[in-house]
Chains A and B, each alone.
Chain A
């Protein structure tokens, strides 16, 4: 309950198979547009699927699509974890 206020999670913090809801997107310009058009929209459920074998990038599921994103960019998406 107090989880969200106590710890701000970012997409890059999720562990495998953890799910969350996108809260906001700290990116700007091209990156923001790209994220939005690919479905990274506040209120959307997102699931962390796996790390790449070398830990970076990561693979996530948004809107039933599989997307790979580097950790540096994933760190811009604030997430509220489910469960």
Chain B
């Protein structure tokens, strides 16, 4: 097996090359932005097995950043056979800085000159032959965004390179340092496939990892360095860097003809607008608004078209299940419907995610992301966040509605570890799309007149809360996390390709489906059990069945003298009739056109020649049966809901909700609300569904809003306290999963669950009690909460974060 390492500087298009080489069947966790963990793929070419590892993009090989560490450790330890160096042809000089260090390793190297199109556009003429001879490497030119073209050529070059062994590695003349390098080289008694000279150079650069490896102590090197300092008056790091850059300059000038003196004028022109002092914010606002509009708003509209498909799928599955016999619903049916509902609740968001991921890919390719960080860094830094936190927060729903899952995923690109964790912890506070129905339910019930104002409070207060949390977290629990200097390249603008964007968008959607779905479904099972057991007492059950029996008797009496009585004189037949009635009604609601209704009728009639005429009556007698059936169906539904309520009341979750009541009562939450919140943990939608079903008392003409408002148990301040809790409420399971993935720690995941919950309980109790004490209205409660959050955020922004910049000279 040939081990191939793919190395290159950031923004050189390395990932595209990796994707091209490995095809679609790779095991890649390809999140937006930097990939710290290395990705690998195996493939077969001309009978030989290749293992290709994609190393994180690095500018150099020091030990300081995580990416460089990962890249270097891999090159040192894992016996790489061939190094493939991806180079951005349009900024060859700087890329050569890394190339030299790779060449010095003494391993066969294939250079991929990527982005040749941009180099051409800038009228750079690169003498490939000369470059290839000067560096003694094989060079393949590519335009990374054009898929597939050069795959074969690259693989052939790799296979060729695998066969040669390098006797004399590439050498840069380090002038005054040569004697010292030689001196250290002689100290190394270490057998390796890596060139001794390289190890000596790195040792002289006081590289900790290398020093340990070659067994030279720090002090020895310190002596040499101070010797250089006094004798030559040279700083080791700076001199090495200077010589490498000078050498790159020499190579560059011999191999490249620049026809245009300046860098891409197009980029400069665009930047003059996009980064303009006055226009930067409006442009940023417009971009964010467009992302929001296209993905969340339009995507949501798109779900109107995909939803019927999912509903049809659900109906199809339900049709396969054993049908209920009136109030007696088989548990397998109940369970399957629950699972299908949980699954399609998430699948429903796929159009939104797809558009969102595609747009992110576009922004990444275009090069706007780092510019966003450039514009906003100052604001976010005040709260311990990072310019790059913008996008995650927007995706999470910085306006009304987003989703924390892609939001948390997008944090991967943040270089500063502390800011990244702070962002991960704050994104779930943003308003997720699924919270919106809950808000509208409560606002519709209690704040009909002030709806717009309340919605404004809800959607903007989250930003203040996020900033406060970020500030608090970074100055307490995250205080000692590593921060990184803010030095970022602003790449030249590229035009994204459709295939590249679609490829990455679908890759990320697939990842979401795979990782999130499995866990959500597992939790759905647990919740089902918690809601289903121990179940309704026998006593109650007999009461319900008696009610059903009397309803049946009544039905029987009404239709006894009917022409069609022979079709409904058995209980099983009546049960079938009710099921058929409900089934038809459900399907009928999904059908819109007249012809569709006709074909639906025909289909039903063909399947149920005897009963269907009673559902869709043509004669007087049939109409009578149909009417009775409708009444029976209503009673049946009412009883089913009553049983369900009874089940929830007696369930483990219900008990849990009641056990919490002594605490939550101070926030105005009774056990029913507790249960709704508890079940919302699986997916936010269930909060509304549970609340709805608890309040659905069978008075079916009332909407959930109306029955909530008329229930009498709650006042607007109750509702405001609930809203407050929902604003702070812990992220759903799906978000937890990605928090776990991104932080790689269960501790942070648990923190992300319990901290907001506690905060939510404490704050809703506080504000609810104050509201009772000072007899605030619901609106006042919300307004006061809003003002306190805004004030606190403002005050916190005045405190300087201790390590606001980057600490100079920090070492581990």
Which residues of A are in contact with B by a Cβ distance under 8 Å? Answer: 24-39, 41-44, 49-57, 59, 61, 63-70, 72-73, 76
Contact = CB atoms under 8 A, between A and B. Distances in A.
A39 B490 contact: no
A39 B487 contact: no
B238 A53 contact: no
Contact of A44 (B59, B62, B245, B809): B245
A65 to B, nearest CB: 6
Contacts of B492: 66
Contacts of A28: 808-809, 811
B375 interface: yes
B379 interface: yes
Interface in B208-261: 237-238, 241-242, 245
Counting chain B CB atoms within 10 Å of each CB, the highest count among A42, A51, A68 belongs to A68
Given A29-B64, A54-B379, A57-B378, A35 B94 contact: no
Residue with the highest number of chain B CB atoms closer than 10 Å, among A24, A26, A65: A65
Given A37-B62, A41-B245, A65-B489, A76 B808 contact: yes
Contacts of B278: 53
25 contacts: A25-B238, A29-B811, A30-B811, A31-B485, A31-B806, A31-B808, A32-B237, A33-B62, A34-B64, A39-B97, A52-B280, A53-B275, A53-B280, A57-B374, A57-B377, A64-B93, A64-B262, A66-B490, A66-B491, A67-B489, A68-B373, A69-B486, A72-B806, A73-B486, A73-B806
Contact of A27 (B65, B484, B489, B808): B808
B332 to A, nearest CB: 59
Interface string B273-307: 00111101100000000000000000000000000
A40 B62 CA distance: 15
A69 B97 CA distance: 20
A63 B246 CA distance: 12
A30 to B, nearest CB: 3
A30 B375 contact: no
Contacts of A34: 59, 62, 64-65, 485, 487
Interface in B466-492: 484-492
A68 B388 CA distance: 13
A36 B263 contact: no
Interface string B372-384: 0111011101000
A59 B275 contact: yes
Given A34-B64, A63-B94, A41 B241 contact: yes
B485 A67 contact: no
B570 interface: no
Contact of A37 (B59, B280, B378): B59
B248 to A, nearest CB: 9
A66 B370 CA distance: 11
B808 A38 contact: no
B267 interface: yes
B490 A55 contact: no
B91 interface: yes
Nearest to A43: B242
A65 B94 contact: yes
Instruction: Give 9 nearest A-B pairs by CB, closest first.
Output: A72-B805, A37-B60, A30-B64, A28-B809, A36-B241, A33-B62, A37-B59, A66-B490, A54-B378
Nearest to B275: A50
Contact of B241 (A37, A55, A59, A64): A37
Main secondary structure of the interface of A (DSSP, over half): mixed
B269 interface: no
* Interface-central residue, B280, B484, B485, B489, by most chain A CB under 10 Å: B485
B716 to A, nearest CB: 40
Contact of B277 (A29, A51, A66): A51
Interface centre among B59, B97, B238, B281 (most CB of A within 10 A): B238
A12 B303 CA distance: 50
Contacts of B271: 49, 59, 66
Nearest to B281: A53
B804 interface: yes
A52 B374 contact: yes
Contact of B377 (A44, A50, A56, A67): A56
A44 B248 CA distance: 13
Most B C-beta atoms less than 10 A away, residue of A30, A38, A57, A63: A30
Contacts of B377: 52, 56-57, 70
Contacts of B238: 24-25, 36, 41-42
A68 to B, nearest CB: 5
Nearest to B98: A37
Contact of B487 (A25, A41, A55, A68): A68
Given A53-B277, A73-B485, 9 more contacts: A36-B241, A42-B238, A44-B245, A49-B271, A51-B277, A61-B263, A67-B489, A68-B370, A70-B485
Contact of A38 (B487, B804, B811): B487
Nearest to B387: A57
Given A43-B242, A51-B277, A52-B377, A33 B237 contact: yes
A56 B378 contact: yes
A42 B242 contact: yes
Contacts of A73: 485-487, 805-806
Interface string B772-812: 00000000000000000000000000000000111011110
Nearest to A36: B241
Given A36-B241, A39-B245, A73-B487, A68 B263 contact: no
A57 B810 contact: no
Contacts of B490: 59, 66-68
A65 B381 CA distance: 24
A51 to B, nearest CB: 7
B257 to A, nearest CB: 15
B65 A30 contact: yes
B810 A30 contact: yes
A54 B276 CA distance: 11
A76 B807 CA distance: 11
Nearest to B267: A66
Nearest to B258: A64
A32 B92 CA distance: 22
A8 B617 CA distance: 96
Contacts of A54: 375, 378-379
Contacts of A76: 808
A31 to B, nearest CB: 5
B805 A70 contact: yes
A62 B391 CA distance: 27
Given A53-B375, A59-B275, A67-B488, A36 B60 contact: yes
Nearest to A27: B808
